């Protein structure tokens, strides 16, 4: 089904095929979806409410665009009534500060605003009061100072439209906070954190366009500002996608998978004209087809926590069994009418003008785009380091669409740490890697980072891009002896062929090649099989690297890292 994706009906059928397996998992009162999986930091009530709410990101635009499914149209009003009735056994519970339920209020609020005939009008008067009162509680509590403020904005806009009590004060102050997060060229930081990642995409930009639509009749200046920012964002965000439809695996919340292209769907829906409908349709279609070719669902068709396969190792502590259904945001385009130019357009290939080397200043990122692969060079994350595997998700030297990164099981051995695209130091039985930069600079084709993996070791790294990869030069000063591993891009281990010639090691698997070469001449070319389930892309991988065994002192080492694809 995903192989077509030409017509509106194709996209509608894909959405229903993804959500259909959930129908048998609804509770008797329809307020909860009960799925199997790992634990998270929030309670069972919130876990099951999340699974109920997230499909609405796809169903609401499906209904807006005229789609109908009697099952879901019966389930959701019943569930909203039961989940917000304090006397009902399926009540979602009272809210508190920093409550996960606030996250899940957002798609409900969007639905109440956009399709009240399906989600609001079927409710009785007491059910409406219960629902409105429960949603209003978001105004009574503290929230994470980040993209979460948009959840309260959406709730207050919906309550206001429905003629129910809302907080004008919260609405005004929350919009001001989001404005304070804006950087430049369409990019936002995620609140107090200095991170620039997919939350600029499927949160800040996505919600901003929805709010622009909600507010355009009363605040055209705000709506136009959001549209202009979205248009500006297009030119750099397209660089995160390769010609094969893969988007950059970088940062947190990667379990949302095809939500990576939800911004493009919002651009199509709200007619952001930076790209033609044919370009947008190609970006969205290729990305969805890529994901539908991966092992992302269990035998019953329920989406898994993971990336290219089920993988709890790479998850954050807020990834519950129903969390992956945030991917439904990509179906925002279903709100488009049948006669919209988007549905008439034919996909066109990835635009050739996006190839080459680009600097994305607000994201502190250098992009090397070769068509079949996007490699993004970063100086390491600033700010908060909680939620799970942030070092691996933000601090590697480079992130790649063709060679997705790995996360660690432990830091006791190289194989368990799987530190691909990192310089790691083995000292006294532990591995240490970069965790942010003391200082950094981003050039036109190079990046500098000054960092310290542990006390007593100081490193200055300069990365210079080359046509087939990059060169790393490290100036190391250490008060202790160490073993260092300058590692390259991991590659699937199944069918992997290794070649070692002189100072270089090369690994090939299928059509892909990954290699490492010592240029300074004092290292040994080797490869290691990483622990299973450390890579985002393959269950078993091999990592090429240059190994150094050195005593205390000052050193300058230089290594080249190559990647390639047969026929290119």
Tokens of 490: 């991991």
Summary count for the chain: helices (H), strands (E): 16, 20
Strands (E), 414-496: 423-427, 430-432, 439-442, 446-454, 457-466, 469-478, 482-487, 491-492
Domain count of the chain?
Answer: 2
Give residue 321's pLDDT band: very low, low, confident or very high (50, 70, 90).
very high
Q: Let me know if residue 3 belongs to a domain.
A: no
Taking only the tens place, the pLDDT of each residue in 169-191 is: 999 999 999 999 999 999 999 88
Kindly state whether residues 422 and 496 are assigned to the same domain. yes
pLDDT, position 191:
84
Give residue 2's pLDDT band: very low, low, confident or very high (50, 70, 90).
low
The boundaries of the domain holding residue 510 are: 356-565
Q: Return all residues near 442 (Cβ < 8 A) that are at least 6 apart.
A: 359, 361, 364, 365, 366, 379
Kindly state whether residues 338 and 403 are assigned to the same domain. no
Q: Let me know if residue 289 belongs to a domain.
A: yes
Asked if the model's pLDDT at residue 165 lies above 80, the reply is: yes
Domain boundary among 326, 354, 382: 354
pLDDT, position 4:
81
Kindly state whether residues 348 and 473 are assigned to the same domain. no
Domain boundary among 354, 378, 405: 354
pTM of structure: 0.96
Asked if the model's pLDDT at residue 194 lies above 90, the reply is: no
| CA separation for the pair 336, 269 (Å, rounded) | 6
Domain boundary among 300, 327, 354: 354
Kindly state whether residues 240 and 133 are assigned to the same domain. yes
Taking only the tens place, the pLDDT of each residue in 205-242 is: 999 999 999 999 999 999 999 999 999 999 999 999 99
If one counts every other C-beta atom within 10 angstroms of the C-beta of residue 168, the result is 9
> What CATH number should be reported for the domain holding residue 521?
2.70.98.70
Q: Let me know if residue 1 belongs to a domain.
A: no
| CA separation for the pair 408, 490 (Å, rounded) | 13
| CA separation for the pair 145, 122 (Å, rounded) | 35
Taking only the tens place, the pLDDT of each residue in 455-485 is: 999 999 999 999 999 999 999 999 999 999 9
Give residue 300's pLDDT band: very low, low, confident or very high (50, 70, 90).
very high
For the CA atoms of 259, 265, 270, 273, the dihedral, rounded to the nearest 10 degrees, stands at: 120
Kindly state whether residues 266 and 342 are assigned to the same domain. yes
Smallest CA-to-CA distance from 56 within 30, 95, 36 is with 30
Kindly state whether residues 308 and 385 are assigned to the same domain. no
Q: Let me know if residue 55 belongs to a domain.
A: yes
**Size (the chain), residues:** 568
Taking only the tens place, the pLDDT of each residue in 25-66 is: 999 999 999 999 899 999 999 999 999 999 999 999 999 999
Taking only the tens place, the pLDDT of each residue in 255-279 is: 999 999 999 999 999 999 999 999 9
Smallest CA-to-CA distance from 466 within 420, 502, 519, 505 is with 519
| CA separation for the pair 39, 317 (Å, rounded) | 8
Kindly state whether residues 164 and 311 are assigned to the same domain. yes
Give residue 98's pLDDT band: very low, low, confident or very high (50, 70, 90).
very high
Kindly state whether residues 78 and 157 are assigned to the same domain. yes
In 115-251, which ranges are continuous DSSP H helix? 116-119, 125-136, 149-161, 168-180, 206-215, 220-237
DSSP state of 559: E
Kindly state whether residues 471 and 497 are assigned to the same domain. yes
């Amino acid at each position: 089904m995903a192989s077509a994706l030409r017509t509106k009906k194709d996209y509608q059928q894909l959405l229903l095929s993804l959500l259909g397996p959930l129908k048998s998992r609804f509770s008797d009162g329809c307020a909860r979806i009960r799925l199997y999986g790992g634990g998270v930091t929030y309670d069972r009530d919130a876990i099951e409410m999340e699974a109920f709410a997230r499909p609405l990101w796809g169903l609401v635009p499906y209904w807006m665009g005229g789609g109908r499914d009697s099952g879901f149209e019966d389930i959701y009003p019943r569930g909203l009534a039961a989940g917000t009735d304090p006397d009902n056994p399926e009540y979602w519970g009272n809210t508190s500060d920093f409550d996960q339920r606030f996250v899940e209020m957002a798609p409900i609020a969007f639905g109440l605003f956009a399709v009240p005939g399906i989600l609001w009008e079927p409710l009785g008067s007491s059910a409406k009061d219960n629902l409105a009162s429960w949603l209003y509680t978001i105004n009574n509590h503290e929230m994470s100072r980040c993209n979460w403020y948009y959840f309260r904005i959406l709730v207050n806009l919906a309550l206001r439209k429905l003629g129910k009590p809302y907080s004008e004060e919260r609405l005004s102050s929350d919009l001001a906070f989001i404005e304070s997060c804006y950087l430049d060229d369409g990019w936002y930081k995620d609140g107090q954190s200095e991170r620039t990642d997919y939350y600029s995409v499927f949160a800040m930009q996505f919600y901003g366009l929805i709010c622009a639509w909600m507010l355009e009749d009363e605040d055209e200046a705000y709506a136009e500002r959001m549209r202009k920012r979205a248009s500006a964002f297009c030119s750099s965000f397209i660089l995160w996608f390769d010609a094969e439809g893969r988007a950059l695996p970088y940062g947190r919340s990667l379990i949302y998978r095809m939500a990576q292209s939800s911004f493009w769907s919002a651009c199509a829906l709200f007619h952001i004209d930076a790209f033609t409908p044919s370009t947008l349709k190609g970006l969205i279609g290729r990305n969805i087809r890529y994901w539908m070719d991966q092992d992302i669902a269990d035998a019953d068709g329920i989406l898994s926590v993971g990336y290219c396969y089920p993988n709890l190792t790479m998850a954050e502590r807020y990834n519950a069994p129903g969390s992956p259904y945030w991917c439904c945001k990509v179906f925002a385009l279903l709100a488009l009418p049948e006669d919209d130019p988007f549905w008439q357009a034919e996909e066109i290939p990835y635009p050739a003008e996006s190839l080459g080397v680009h600097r994305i200043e607000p994201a502190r990122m250098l992009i090397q785009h070769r068509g079949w692969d996007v490699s993004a060079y970063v100086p390491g994350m600033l700010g908060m380091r909680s939620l799970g595997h942030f070092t691996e998700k933000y601090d590697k030297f480079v992130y790649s669409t063709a060679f997705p990164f790995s996360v660690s099981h432990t830091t006791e051995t190289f194989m368990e740490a799987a530190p691909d695209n990192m310089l790691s130091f083995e000292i006294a039985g532990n591995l240490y890697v970069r965790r942010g930069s003391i200082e950094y600079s981003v050039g036109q084709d190079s990046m500098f980072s000054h960092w310290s993996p542990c006390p007593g070791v100081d490193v200055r790294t300069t990365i210079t891009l080359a046509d087939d990869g990059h060169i790393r030069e490290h100036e190391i000063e250490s008060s202790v002896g160490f073993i260092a591993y300058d590692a390259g891009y991991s590659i699937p281990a199944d069918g992997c062929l290794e070649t070692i010639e002189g100072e270089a090691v090369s690994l090939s698997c299928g059509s892909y090649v990954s290699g490492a070469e010592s240029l300074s001449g004092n290292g040994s070319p080797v490869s290691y099989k990483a622990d299973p389930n450390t890579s985002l892309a393959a269950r078993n991988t091999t990592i090429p690297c240059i190994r150094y065994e050195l005593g205390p002192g000052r050193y300058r080492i230089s290594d080249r890292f190559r990647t390639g694809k047969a026929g290119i």
